[in-house]
Amino acid sequence: MFEICAQGWLKQARHCPSPHFNERPVDADISLLVVHNISLPPGEFGGSYIEQFFQGHLTSKAHPFFDEIRDMQVSAHCLVKRTGEVVQFVSFNQRAWHAGVSSFEGREQCNDFSIGIELEGTDDLPYTDAQYQTLVAVTHAIMSTYPNITPARVTGHEHIAPGRKTDPGSSFCWNRLKAEL
């Protein structure tokens, strides 16, 4: 059983605080969970470039793509690595910057009212069993702490930003996740 403390941090996560967050609007109810994917460099797994990117200190010159993204101020609440390890960057009570221009059931600016979880991966490579197990455990903890997030309000970045985003992609098995929520 994963647990979330009153300050909005998962006790089981490795904490890597990001400066890329701010307060949610006063009236925001936390009522949506958004699943994403990321890999840095694209298509490569392992290492700590994602943590560095979300923490605003991706200084490596190891890949030309890093030059394109290093000044972007983005984050997610959590990252689930290929091993199933979970890393948390932003308190769930705060607004992380993961969704961008987005809309869910007619309500825009999903960052205001959502929690963003990144899976280390790509749109077309299967996610690992360990990632599904961790995602299920984290989602259960989130749903019990933020009861306005229900299984029907667990969605993908591709669904709230269609035409602009494609993650977590066809490689993500929604039936597998939803069956365990």
Alpha helix stretches (DSSP H) within the chain: 49-54, 64-69, 129-145, 157-160, 174-179
Count CA within 13 A, CB hemisphere, residue 81: 16
Output DSSP code: residue 32: E
Tell me the C-alpha distance between 77 and 92, whole Å.
6
Least distance CB 36 / Zn ion (angstroms): 3
Q: Residue from 79, 157, 160, 177 that binds Zn ion (CB under 5 A)?
A: 157
Nearer to Zn ion, 35 or 137 (CB): 35
Nearer to Zn ion, 34 or 142 (CB): 34
118 labelled catalytic: yes
Rounded to 5 degrees, what are φ and ψ at 137? -65, -45
Least distance CB 167 / Zn ion (angstroms): 4
36 binds Zn ion (CB under 5 A): yes
167 binds Zn ion (CB under 5 A): yes
Judge contact between 161 and 167, C-beta under 8 A.
no
12-20, 28-36, 42-50, 132-140 -> range binding Zn ion (CB under 5 A): 28-36
Of 3, 23, 68, 118, catalytic: 118
The residues assigned a catalytic role are: 118
Residues of this chain that bind Zn ion (CB under 5 A): 36, 157, 167
